Structure formats: structure tokens, C-alpha cells
């Protein structure tokens, strides 16, 4: 938890395979208005990796436990990829805890399940190296990889340090997820952000979410891939701030 005491709490959820540092491009601007609660999934960063498989509900329960531990009854929530999937669950199943929602480069349903079970099996047998080697191609456009190779390297190298057991459990949570029927019950003001060139959660997935949540707004960031907040930090920060400051804890 960081930021001005007494300010509204904003919870930030990461994409699978990244740490809380993935939000660094937005942290300073968001911290000027909110208390930021950044966390890491099971097996990511310094979090332990209990035995899997996990469910999206399990991971969302971890977030609720954090809110309880900090005495936070109601918060704003923004999540990238897996973080967004957790945000959908929270807004649908614990609506009294979520005042506003920002969903970045995510999906309510991301088949095939076999892709996720295969990836889980791969890291359990071979470690994080094989998936880390492929991550940059999903997370960043060729243009960004050429323009800022050091930023890419920092994030990919952090992925190599993720506990394979925790990563595998999170993969299985995504593979078993189907939240399409939950979208219609979400009442929290919601913004969905998509990367126009995202191969992992394409803009069509964002459009499905936006069409399912009443009053939801959709923003597509041109020239951005899956980690749009890293490759297009200004656009993503402006979109999130505009949404969050308009809603706050109402």
C-alpha cells in the first residue's frame, strides 16, 4: 500500500507472469490521487505458491483477503489480463467491495482450455524459460521491441523468476474460466481498454466485455499489444485517470 492516507484505495492487478512492477508506468500519476494497493499472484514476486490448480475465484479471494487485512471496505480496481479477469469476478460476486472497474487487455472467456493446460504442463516440466522466451512476442509489438528493448528485457526477465507452480496454477484458472454470463450483473462503472494489435486478448474480447456490462466504455489503443500500459503509457494512464476520477467511490 502506498500513497496519501485517507485517499480512495485503488487496487492494481497484474497480467500473468508479471510482477506488480508492470504498473510502474502508471504508478506516479495514479498515486497522486489514490492509495495504491499493488499485489502479486501466487508464485509471482514474493508471494508463495500453494498447490494448484487454482480458480479465478480463488485468486479473487486473495484480493478480498488483502482488502480485509488493510481494513478497506470499498475500493476501485484496475487489472491487466489475469488482473482484469479477477476484476470481473470481484465486480460480479462482491459488488459491495468494488466502486469502479478498469479492465485492460483482458477477456471474460479465453479458450481453448487445452492451451492453458499445455502451458501449465510445460512450466511444470521445463521451468519458466520456454514461456519467457515467447512472451515478448505476445506482450509487445515488433516496433516497441525495437524501440525499447531494455523495457522488454526487464519484464521478460522478471517472468523467468516466477515460481512455475504458481504460474501453472494461474494458467489452469484461466483455462477453466468462463465469465460471460457474469458480465450482465456488473453495476460498477467500467472502462475496458484494448491494444489494437494484441494477439493474446484481441479487441474483439474487449468488445464482448463492453457489450455485456451496462454503460461500459471501450477504448482501443492503436499500435499497442498485450501490455498496452507499458508500450503506450500516456494513453492508458489518461484513459484510466479520466474514468477513475469521474467515478471515485460513489
pLDDT in tens, 218-233: 999 999 999 999 999 9
Instruction: Name the residue among 108, 123, 103 with its Cα closest to residue 229.
Output: 103
C-alpha cell at 159: 517472468
C-alpha cell at 192: 475496458
Mean pLDDT, residues 142-162 taken together: 96
The CA-atom distances, in angstroms, between 109 and each of 85, 93, 162, 173, 177 are 9, 17, 24, 11, 6
Band of residue 208 on the pLDDT scale cut at 50, 70, 90: very high
Band of residue 4 on the pLDDT scale cut at 50, 70, 90: confident
Alpha-carbon gap, residue 70 to 79, rounded angstroms: 19
Alpha-carbon gap, residue 18 to 210, rounded angstroms: 25
Torsion of CA 52, 95, 79, 240, to 10 degrees: 180
Residue 133, H or E segment = helix 129-139
Q: Is the pLDDT of residue 250 over 80?
A: no
**Residue 137 Cα to chain centre, angstroms:** 18
Q: What's the pLDDT tens digit per position in 184-195?
A: 999 999 999 999
| pLDDT for the residue numbered 223 | 96
Q: Is the pLDDT of residue 170 over 60?
A: yes
Q: What's the pLDDT tens digit per position in 39-85?
A: 999 999 989 998 878 999 999 999 999 999 999 999 999 999 999 99
Q: What's the pLDDT tens digit per position in 93-140?
A: 999 999 999 999 999 999 999 999 999 999 999 999 999 999 999 999
| pLDDT for the residue numbered 248 | 66
Q: Which CATH superfamily is domain 9-247 in?
A: Alpha/Beta hydrolase fold, catalytic domain (3.40.50.1820)
pLDDT over 70 percentage in the chain = 99
Can you give the pTM of this predicted structure? 0.96
Domain boundaries, the chain: 9-247
Band of residue 5 on the pLDDT scale cut at 50, 70, 90: confident
Amino acid at each position: 500500500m502506498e500513497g496519501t492516507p485517507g485517499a480512495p484505495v485503488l487496487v492494481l492487478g497484474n497480467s500473468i507472469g508479471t510482477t506488480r512492477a508492470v504498473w510502474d508506468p502508471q504508478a506516479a500519476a495514479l498515486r497522486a490521487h489514490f492509495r495504491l494497493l499493488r499485489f502479486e499472484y501466487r508464485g509471482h514476486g514474493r508471494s508463495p505458491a500453494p498447490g494448484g490448480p487454482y480458480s479465478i475465484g480463488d485468486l479473487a479471494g486473495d484480493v478480498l483477503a488483502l482488502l480485509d487485512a488493510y481494513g478497506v471496505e470499498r475500493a476501485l480496481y484496475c487489472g491487466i489480463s489475469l488482473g482484469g479477469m479477477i476484476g470481473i469476478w470481484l465486480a460480479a460476486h462482491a459488488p459491495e467491495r468494488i466502486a469502479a472497474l478498469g479492465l485492460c487487455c483482458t477477456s471474460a472467456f479465453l479458450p481453448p482450455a487445452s492451451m492453458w493446460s499445455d502451458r501449465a504442463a510445460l512450466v511444470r516440466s521445463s521451468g519458466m524459460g520456454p514461456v519467457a522466451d515467447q512472451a515478448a512476442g505476445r506482450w509487445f509489438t515488433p516496433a516497441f521491441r525495437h524501440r525499447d528493448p531494455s523495457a522488454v528485457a526487464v519484464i521478460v526477465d522478471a517472468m523467468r523468476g516466477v515460481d512455475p507452480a504458481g504460474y501453472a496454477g494461474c494458467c489452469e484458472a484461466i483455462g477453466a474460466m468462463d465469465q460471460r454470463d457474469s458480465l450482465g450483473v456488473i453495476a460498477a462503472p467500467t472502462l475496458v481498454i484494448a491494444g489494437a494489435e494484441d494477439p493474446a486478448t484481441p479487441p474483439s474480447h474487449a468488445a464482448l466485455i463492453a457489450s455485456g456490462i451496462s454503460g461500459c466504455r471501450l477504448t482501443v489503443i492503436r499500435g499497442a499489444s498485450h501490455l498496452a500500459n507499458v508500450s503506450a503509457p500516456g494513453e492508458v494512464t489518461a484513459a484510466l485517470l479520466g474514468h477513475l476520477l469521474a467515478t471515485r467511490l460513489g
